[in-house]
């Protein structure tokens, strides 16, 4: 797909409707979403991984066999297992080693699920919400959410694989928006580029009448992805959410604020809400040090993101 640089975004005209001055969204895509009767199909590779994850007798050998069907996925898994974050001293010379000795079955299932689910969606690369920024944010967020989940108290701590998947896919709505509504996606990017101090959710509501969390959760529900990940996707900008599986959007939101301090992602600012730390029973110094630890591995994470965006 031909991509557009930030400079070219400025040449894209707004598409204004008849009610452009009455406070209604500039491009109200909600009615068009509701009329869509054919959703993008779940990738075949994702279906294989979901079937495997649902099999109580599935083995590491079976997972290796599925992963090796996609050489690029196999490389991603081996690269992630080789990162200093895991501290494995041996050589990662196979997918089997990466799974059996470092990452574990559940972690690899969820990493593979996230990568294969998002991989088919091709959107412009060099725009604020483009493919490069999407994957960089996704990979860093997943790693940080994984690390944060590991220091939670036992009663709060979610399964590490689902925590990782929530971080990886929480901005899935941007991929779907760019896939289904290409012109509107570019117009949204134009507004984001011109209003860097405005929260992204506010811009989305003003321009398209909905937000990327709702759009992403919509497709995830249709695909029957885990409810925990759907909620993380839908609620990760909602600081007041305290319903089922609240720990997932809370972890993602915390990671987003922490990463914003490093110039990564779309959080409004790097200030961590005290209520969020209280809900997760974490301290600000604790999460800052953990972020620094994860970012020591930034070169490896960047390579993963670059490969996925290519």
Residue with tokens 């898994």: 77
Does position 13 have pLDDT exceeding 50, yes or no?
Answer: no
Least confident of 27-31, 121-125, 232-236: 27-31
The predicted model scores a pTM of 0.89
Domain ranges of the chain: 39-120, 123-310
pLDDT of residue 23: 64
Tell me the percentage of the chain whose pLDDT exceeds 70.
Answer: 93
pLDDT of residue 298: 87
Q: In the structure, what pLDDT confidence band is assigned to residue 122 with cuts at 50, 70 and 90?
A: confident
For residues 106-115, give the mean pLDDT.
95
Q: How would DSSP label each residue in 28-92?
A: --HHHHHH---PPPPPHHHHHHHHHHT-TT--HHHHHHHHTTSHHHHHHHHHHHTSGGG---S--
Does position 19 have pLDDT exceeding 80, yes or no?
Answer: no
Q: How far apart are CA 240 and CA 276, in angstroms?
A: 9
Tell me the percentage of the chain whose pLDDT exceeds 90.
Answer: 78
Least confident of 2-11, 125-134, 157-166, 296-305: 2-11
For residues 76-97, give the mean pLDDT.
90
Burial class (CB in 10 A: 0-12, 13-18, 19+), 266: buried
Maximal C-alpha separation, the chain: 64
Question: What letter does residue 92 receive in the DSSP assignment?
Answer: -
Per DSSP, the three-state class of 293 is helix
pLDDT of residue 39: 79
Say which CATH architecture domain 123-310 belongs to. Orthogonal Bundle (1.10)
Question: What letter does residue 268 receive in the DSSP assignment?
Answer: S
Q: In the structure, what pLDDT confidence band is assigned to residue 14 with cuts at 50, 70 and 90?
A: very low
Q: How would DSSP label each residue in 48-60?
A: HHHHHHT-TT--H
Give the relative orientation of helices 71-81 and 105-118 as an angle to the nearest 10 degrees. 130
Please write the tens of the pLDDT for every residue from 128-169: 999 999 999 999 999 999 999 999 999 999 999 999 999 999
Least confident of 47-51, 104-108, 228-232, 304-308: 304-308
Please write the tens of the pLDDT for every residue from 252-272: 999 999 999 999 998 989 999
């Amino acid at each position: 797909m031909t991509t557009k640089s930030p400079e070219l975004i400025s040449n894209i005209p707004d598409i204004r409707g008849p009610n452009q001055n009455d406070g209604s969204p500039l491009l109200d895509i909600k009615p068009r979403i509701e009329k869509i009767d054919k959703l993008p199909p779940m990738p075949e590779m994702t279906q294989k991984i979901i079937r495997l994850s649902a099999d109580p007798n599935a083995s590491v050998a079976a997972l290796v066999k599925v992963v090796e069907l996609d050489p690029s996925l196999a490389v991603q898994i081996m690269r992630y297992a080789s990162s200093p974050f895991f501290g494995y001293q041996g050589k990662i010379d196979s997918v089997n080693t990466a799974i059996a000795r470092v990452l574990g079955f559940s972690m690899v299932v969820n990493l593979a699920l996230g990568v294969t689910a998002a991989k088919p969606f091709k959107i412009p690369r060099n725009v604020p919400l483009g493919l490069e920024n999407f994957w960089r944010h996704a990979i860093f967020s997943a790693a940080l959410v994984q690390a944060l989940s590991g220091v939670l108290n036992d009663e709060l701590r979610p399964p590490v694989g689902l925590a990782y998947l929530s971080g990886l896919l929480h901005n899935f709505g941007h991929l779907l928006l760019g896939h289904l509504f290409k012109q509107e996606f570019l117009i949204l990017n134009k507004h984001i580029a011109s209003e860097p101090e405005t929260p992204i959710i506010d811009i989305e509501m003003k321009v398209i009448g909905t937000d990327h969390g709702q759009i992403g959760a919509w497709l995830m529900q249709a695909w029957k992805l885990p409810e925990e990940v759907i909620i993380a996707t839908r609620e990760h900008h909602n600081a007041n959410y305290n319903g089922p599986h609240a720990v997932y959007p809370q972890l993602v939101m915390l990671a987003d604020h922490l990463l914003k301090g490093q110039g990564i992602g779309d959080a409004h600012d790097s200030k961590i809400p005290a209520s969020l730390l209280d809900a997760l029973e974490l301290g600000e110094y604790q999460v800052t040090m953990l972020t620094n630890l994860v970012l020591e591995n930034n070169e490896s994470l960047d390579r993963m993101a670059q490969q996925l965006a290519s």
